[in-house]
Amino acid sequence: MEHQRLRVVPLNGGSRMKRSQTAGFSPFAAGVVATVALDARRVIVVAYSGSYNVATTEEHASFTRSVFDTTFRRSLESRAAAETVQSQISDAMLATGAGEHREYCRPCHAEPRVERTLWSSGMRPRPPHLREAAAHCETAEIFWPVKHRAKMSGMPAFGPGDDDETLWGIAAFVKQLPATTPEQYAAAGCDLERSGDGSAKRAVRPETTGDE
């Protein structure tokens, strides 16, 4: 009786088969999928473990602050570029914008030589000083957050309650803040009156310096 020969199968045969099956799946793509899956697990762990401190008495970590700032800036730039800029800003629009700023913006964003209110300093993210921030923004980049604002910032959107002319007046006034003196700011919009629903009724022209 003849004995059948046993065929020896190489131990790495299965590995070759697996490699042939996944030849179209690049190592880079595999790394991306693995990284996303790992990050997703971390987010779930942090969310459900309660380990993240949501108290505003604690500052954001530098990484978190950087992510928020970058996301806000890129989103703002892309959307503000689509806005049709108000071609003419009248003195009345500027005066109304000054009054709106004094009424709604000053408590959180401060004014020339006056700091923001104590309670607004505890907001996270902390509201910027508009006199400094406006120097690095286009008018449309001021208008867009005034109208729409941003999520998780604590600032309400004014768009649903005000017309675009009023909002452009606010944006134009804020854009002028870097060159506005405390005396000019104190005089601007100080005679603004409001009706029962909070809308502007009357405004005065901001004072100017120099000879007329």
Tokens of 8: 């020896």
- pLDDT for 87: 81
35-58 per-position pLDDT tens digit: 888 878 888 888 889 888 888 888
- The C-alpha atoms of residue 95 and residue 92 are separated, in whole angstroms, by 5
- N-to-C CA span, the chain: 123
- pLDDT for 173: 93
Q: How many CB atoms lie within 10 A of CB 199?
A: 12
Q: For the residues 135-150, what does the mean pLDDT come to?
A: 90
Model confidence at 2: pLDDT above 70: no
Mean pLDDT of the chain: 77
Is the pLDDT higher at 159 or at 18?
159
- The C-alpha atoms of residue 175 and residue 136 are separated, in whole angstroms, by 9
116's enclosing H/E stretch is: none
Tokens of 61: 């970590």
C-alpha 150, offset from chain centre:
5
- pLDDT for 7: 57
User: Considering the chain, what percentage of its residues have pLDDT values greater than 90?
Assistant: 17
In Å, how far are 55, 94, 102 from 110, measured between CA atoms? 23, 18, 9
Cα dihedral 98, 99, 103, 104, rounded to 10, equals -50
65-105 per-position pLDDT tens digit: 888 889 988 999 999 999 888 888 999 999 999 988 888 88
DSSP letters along 12-64, please? THHHHHHHHHTTTS-HHHHHHHHHHHHHHHHHHHHHHHT-S---TTSPPPHHH
Long-range contacts of 185-189, Cβ-Cβ distance < 8 Å, separation of 24 or more:
185/98, 185/111, 185/112, 188/94, 188/95, 188/98, 188/99, 188/102, 189/95, 189/96, 189/97, 189/98, 189/99, 189/100, 189/101, 189/102
Q: What are phi and psi of 126, to 5 degrees?
A: -70, 130
Instruction: Yes or no: say if 184 and 207 are a contact pair by the CB < 8 Å rule.
Output: yes
- The C-alpha atoms of residue 155 and residue 68 are separated, in whole angstroms, by 15
- pLDDT for 10: 52
> pLDDT band at residue 207, thresholds of 50, 70 and 90?
very low
